[in-house]
């Protein structure tokens, strides 16, 4: 069994187009959620989201690339460029042969589906661009990362709705820990902020019209975001030998299934996932200083999550910090675990705990230290990152300071 | 613009070349257009002339539409326009 560390990170999300600007925004408690801007937005009852602004794809990709890259792939490649560039790794020879890319996404090329359905159903066109299929397929982003960076090892895409990124990163971690791969590119991405993407979600009646207020008594739903978070997970000795900059260690993970309801979360499922992550990382509950919560801002998730934390951590639950950065970047669905890992890195490496912004009223059912509204300086050694998804699929990652 | 000029424009764009670099007896391979480039060119041609080209990538030579050179493509389009607009 090998130790696994993070040696590269990249992102595009509503808070910024790279890691430094994202972390700065988190530190400042800035809100990236605002009015949505796309075709037919006025037909929606939900008109806010964490939309990525000012990302000029045409300036980054040539005509042929643009014909193949859905927006979720565009975000992924920009984040991958930052992460892999930062790691200093070049994938060639044996390293290329054994390193792969595992990404999470819930919807894949949703914008491509939406645009082309519009063409054939609304505009009555009888032909669509030949690249529609390779563009919208869920594995497109991972495929292009593999092609761009010469990753010839195991690559695939994982879908577990809002936990997709955590499941993907857990799989990548496993491959490095077991010695199957010396390094893996991992994370996730999502871009569903288009008319069809938001309209589909409205029907569930869980989205907020005004803000994402995790843990607040007056919270009234989730807010969708978009973007990508990409990391390089590397075997520890390999990273050390080449003098790589190490962000933190990925210490363990657990996955559990609620096996109860298709949308309502189960306290038991969440608890088992957190306990499992602690056991896998061989840490005690009282060593955890910070949890990056799933914290969607829905009535159901936040109280269930807090109850699960209380169960797992007992009295220590009152001492640890638990915040939801979804309050700032929105819920990136299949990409959310990846972007939220950045808050974990900031906690471990920089000693800064990201806040839960928009917090207005304490809720007795969420009576934990949710780091309300302002970031906090604190030294923590171990953090957890939670993801509890539709379908009752849970994945929790444990990370350690190095 | 004539059919010939339009086709040369479409193929030049696909090949990322100047229209002056595309001659009537060029093959698509000469111009560096690969299989994905070919289906994209066919799409562009169908869109431009509002015709339906019977091309199957598994059997490229099975249909009447001859893609072996720029000239043969132009001839094929002329024939389809006549047949499909009638």
The verdict on a CB contact (< 8 Å) between B43 and A129 is: yes
- A-proximal residues of B, 60-79, CB under 8 Å: none
Comparing A117 with B58, the larger pLDDT belongs to A117
- The model's confidence at residue B58, banded by pLDDT at 50, 70 and 90, is confident
Contact A5, A243 (CB under 8 A): no
Mean of the pLDDT values across residues A158-177?
98
Q: How close, in Å, is residue A128 to chain B by CA atoms? A: 8
The answer to whether B43 faces chain A, any CB pair under 8 Å, is yes
Quick check: B19 pLDDT over 80?
A: yes
Percentage of chain A modeled with pLDDT above 90 = 99
Encode pLDDT of A180-194 as tens digits.
999 999 999 999 999
- The model's confidence at residue B1, banded by pLDDT at 50, 70 and 90, is confident
Separation CA A273–CA B17 (nearest Å): 56
Tokens of A378: 């604190």
Mean of the pLDDT values across residues A246-269?
96
Residue A63 is predicted with a pLDDT of 87
Dihedral over Cα of A161, A247, A280, A146: its sign: positive
Torsion of CA A338, A341, A343, A344, to 10 degrees: 170
Quick check: B85 pLDDT over 80?
A: no
The answer to whether B40 faces chain A, any CB pair under 8 Å, is yes
Residue B59 is predicted with a pLDDT of 86
Separation CA A10–CA A346 (nearest Å): 13
**Interface predicted TM-score (ipTM):** 0.88
Separation CA A348–CA A382 (nearest Å): 7
Map tokens 């895409």 to a residue: A157
The answer to whether A93 faces chain B, any CB pair under 8 Å, is no
Give, as one character, the DSSP assignment of residue A207. Answer: B
What's the Rg (C-alpha) of chain B?
Answer: 12
Quick check: A97 pLDDT over 80?
A: yes
The predicted model scores a pTM of 0.96
């Amino acid at each position: 069994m090998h130790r696994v560390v993070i040696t590269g990170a990249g992102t595009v999300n509503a808070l910024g187009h790279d890691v430094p600007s994202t972390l700065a925004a988190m530190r400042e408690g800035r809100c990236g959620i605002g009015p949505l801007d796309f075709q037919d937005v006025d037909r929606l009852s939900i008109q806010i989201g964490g939309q990525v602004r000012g990302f000029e794809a045409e300036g980054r990709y040539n005509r042929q690339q643009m014909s193949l890259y859905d927006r979720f792939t565009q975000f992924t490649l920009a984040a991958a460029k930052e992460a892999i560039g930062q790691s200093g790794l070049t994938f060639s020879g044996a390293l290329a042969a054994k390193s792969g890319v595992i990404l999470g996404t819930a919807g894949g090329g949703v914008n491509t589906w939406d645009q082309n359905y519009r063409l054939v159903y609304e505009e009555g066109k009888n032909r669509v661009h030949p690249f529609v299929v390779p563009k919208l397929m869920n594995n497109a982003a991972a495929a292009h990362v593999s092609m761009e960076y010469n990753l010839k090892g195991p690559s695939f895409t994982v879908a577990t709705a809002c936990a997709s990124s955590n499941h993907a990163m857990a799989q990548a971690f496993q491959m490095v820990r077991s010695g199957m791969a010396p390094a893996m590119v991992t994370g996730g991405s999502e871009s569903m902020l288009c008319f069809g993407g938001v309209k589909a979600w409205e029907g569930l009646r869980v989205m907020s019209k005004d803000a994402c207020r995790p843990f607040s008594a007056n919270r009234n739903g989730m807010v969708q975001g978009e973007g990508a978070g990409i990391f390089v997970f590397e075997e520890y000795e390999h990273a050390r030998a080449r003098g790589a900059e190490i962000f933190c260690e990925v210490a363990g993970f657990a996955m559990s299934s609620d096996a109860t309801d298709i949308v309502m979360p189960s306290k038991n499922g969440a608890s088992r996932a957190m306990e499992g992550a602690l056991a896998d990382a061989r840490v005690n509950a009282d060593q955890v200083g910070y949890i990056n919560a799933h914290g969607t801002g829905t009535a159901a998730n936040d109280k269930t999550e807090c109850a699960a934390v209380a169960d797992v951590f007992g009295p220590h639950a009152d001492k640890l910090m638990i915040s939801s950065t979804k309050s700032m970047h929105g819920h990136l669905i299949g990409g959310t675990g990846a972007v939220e890992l950045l808050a974990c890195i900031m906690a471990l490496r920089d000693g800064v705990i990201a806040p839960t912004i928009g917090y207005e009223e304490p809720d007795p059912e969420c009576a934990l230290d949710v780091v309300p509204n302002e970031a906090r300086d604190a030294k923590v050694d171990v953090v957890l990152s939670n993801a509890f998804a539709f379908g009752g699929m849970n994945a929790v990652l444990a990370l350690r300071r190095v | 613009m004539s059919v010939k000029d339009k086709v040369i424009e479409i193929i030049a764009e696909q090949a990322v070349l100047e229209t002056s670099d595309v001659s009537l007896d060029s093959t698509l391979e000469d111009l560096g257009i690969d299989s994905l480039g070919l289906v994209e060119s066919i799409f562009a041609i169908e869109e431009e002339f509002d015709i339906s080209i019977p091309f199957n990538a598994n059997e490229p030579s099975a249909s009447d539409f001859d893609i072996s050179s720029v000239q043969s493509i132009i001839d094929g389009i002329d024939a389809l326009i006549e047949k499909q607009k009638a």
